[in-house]
C-alpha cells in the first residue's frame, strides 16, 4: 500500500510568508515612529538645556557687557539677543535651532536681567 506524502507547495509557502509580513508591518511602523519620537524628544531636551545654560552664562556676565551673539555647538545653532527694556533691564532671548529627522526645530528661552540683580544670590 502506498502512502501519499503531503508537502507544502511553493504557493502555500509564499502565502504564509506574505501573511507573516503583512502581520509584522504595523509593528515595524510602530518601531520607526517610536525611534523618531525618541530622537525628537531628545533633541528638544538637549536644546532646552543649552538655552538655559546660555542664559545662566549671560546672567553671570557684567550687565553692561551683555550683547547679542551666536554660536554653533554640535549641530545646534544658538543665537541670543539682548534688548533694552523700558525699566532699564535687558530682555535676553536665546534661540536654539537644529535639524531633526522630522525637519528644522527651534527652542526659545527668555529672561529679564536687571543691573541691580545680585549675581551671587542663589
The DSSP code sequence of 55-113 is HHHHHHS-GGG---EEEEETTEEEEEEEEE-TTS-EEEEEEEEEEETTEEEEEEEEEEE
Report the pLDDT value the prediction gives residue 69, as an integer from 0 to 100. Answer: 94
Domain limits of the chain? 11-113
pLDDT reading at 120 higher than 60:
no
Q: What is the DSSP letter of 1?
A: -
pLDDT reading at 10 higher than 90:
no
**In terms of pTM, does the model score above 0.75?**
no
Residue entry with cell 535687558? 90
Distance CA 114, CA 85 (A): 9
Q: Mean pLDDT for the chain?
A: 84
**Helix, strand, coil shares, percent, the chain, to 5:** 45, 30, 25
pLDDT digits (tens, 9 = 90+) for 53-111: 999 999 988 888 889 999 999 999 999 999 998 888 999 999 999 998 778 999 999 99
Other CB atoms closer than 10 Å to residue 55's CB: what's the count? 18
Report the pLDDT value the prediction gives residue 39, as an integer from 0 to 100. Answer: 66
Report the pLDDT value the prediction gives residue 96, as an integer from 0 to 100. Answer: 96
Distance CA 37, CA 42 (A): 8
Residue bearing the bigger pLDDT, 109 or 11: 109
Report the pLDDT value the prediction gives residue 4, as an integer from 0 to 100. Answer: 58
Amino acid at each position: 500500500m502506498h502512502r501519499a506524502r503531503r508537502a507544502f507547495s511553493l504557493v502555500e509557502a509564499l502565502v504564509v510568508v506574505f501573511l507573516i509580513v503583512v502581520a509584522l508591518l504595523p509593528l515595524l511602523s510602530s518601531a520607526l515612529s517610536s525611534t523618531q519620537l525618541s530622537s525628537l524628544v531628545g533633541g528638544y531636551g538637549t536644546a532646552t538645556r543649552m538655552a538655559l545654560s546660555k542664559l545662566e552664562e549671560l546672567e553671570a556676565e557684567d550687565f553692561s557687557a551683555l550683547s547679542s551673539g551666536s554660536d554653533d555647538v554640535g549641530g545646534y545653532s544658538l543665537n541670543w539677543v539682548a534688548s533694552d527694556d523700558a525699566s532699564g533691564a535687558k530682555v535676553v532671548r536665546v534661540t536654539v535651532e537644529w535639524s531633526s529627522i522630522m525637519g528644522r526645530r527651534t527652542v526659545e528661552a527668555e529672561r529679564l536681567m536687571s543691573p541691580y540683580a545680585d549675581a551671587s544670590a542663589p
